[in-house]
Amino acid sequence: MKTIKGPGIFLAQFASDAAPFNSLEGMAKWAAELGYTGIQIPSWDRRLFDLKRAAESKTYCDEILGLVAQAGLAVTELSTHLQGQLVASHPAFDTLLDAFAPRELAGDAKAKQAWAMEQLHWAAKASRNLGVSAHATFSGALAWPFFYPWPQRPAGLIDEAFAELARLWTPILDAFDAGGVDLCFELHPGEDLHDGATFERFLSAAGNHPRACILYDPSHMVLQQLNYLEFLDLYHERIRAFHVKDAEFHPSGRAGVYGGYQEWIDRPGRFRSLGDGQIDFQQIFSKLAQYDYPGWAVVEWECCIKHPEDGAAEGADFVRSHMIRVTDRAFDDFAGGAADAKRNRKILGL
């Protein structure tokens, strides 16, 4: 068994134009002071990281690693969540997603897609140059507007969407494979890959690609009323990244899993700071240890109530208190003995 690495923290929700959140050096020192040992870097934020330069220059990546190490940290993964969203997007989202790409590409869906795919290829090279083993992203959404089967979907519509997803992502998966890095899709409502069934469908369409992996975030499963513990039993072999994020779900006579278009504060399903929600992290960490999860436990703060800096401050201790130093021996070794074939046959009456 392996002991999970951590605690790490995803920097995206904290980055801003105010110090110390406007530079990687400042954020690394801030995270270290809170007790974190790793940081997950949003690759789209030029205040923190230059993705193109990282893809082209091992020297630049060594400088990044040195800067982070100086604070006593490691880089856990890079993230391309925003770019991944643009790899495959239904036209209904075009205007909404203008903010995810350079301003000059606004209104040009094909240009945004091409930019995003280039970004993912850079991310594969940058991840290799940084020496990380996993990468975090989103799948994008071609079929999401049709997630509910009414109006009735024409036969073959979803098959066609997933075939296109596989066509778009396979060259990117190949690029990550060349770099020895697992590409981990965060299963998330709003993405075509949002649960186990959709991940299986994509995996089949992509020829069971060895680098098609999962970023496990139980909060998104609570909001979908998915069994997040059984999910680990089913898909642990493909889980290579982990966001530690809490959530709660309180259905009412007014609203359920769809939320009634309400603001986050009023929705039955809400993200919460660690320890304030309903997720059984003790069981999650136990199962991840049992299944030899090889990666990091990375705090992702999202909460509609608590201040982000308080959530971050509490997160490191929360993760550390749940991490399991796995045993190197069986608890009943004291009562056993060395293997002896002759004795074993005698015990069996043979």
Query: Which domains does the chain possess?
Result: 5-347 (3.20.20.150)
The one-letter code for the residue type at 100 is F
Residues 125-164 pLDDT 10s: 999 999 999 999 999 999 999 999 999 999 999 999 999 9
Least confident among 201-210, 232-241, 334-343:
334-343
Q: How far is CA 311 from the centre of its chain?
A: 19
Residues 59-79 pLDDT 10s: 999 999 999 999 999 999 999
User: Of all residues in the chain, what percent carry a pLDDT higher than 90?
Assistant: 93
Query: What confidence score (pLDDT) does residue 335 get?
Result: 65
Query: What confidence score (pLDDT) does residue 202 get?
Result: 98
Query: For residues 80 and 126, what is the distance between their CA atoms, to the nearest angstrom?
Result: 12
DSSP string, 58-113: HHHHHHHHHHHHHTT-EEEEEEEHHHHHHHSB-GGGTTGGGGGS-GGGTT-HHHHH
Predicted TM-score (pTM) of this structure: 0.95
More confident residue, 197 or 343: 197
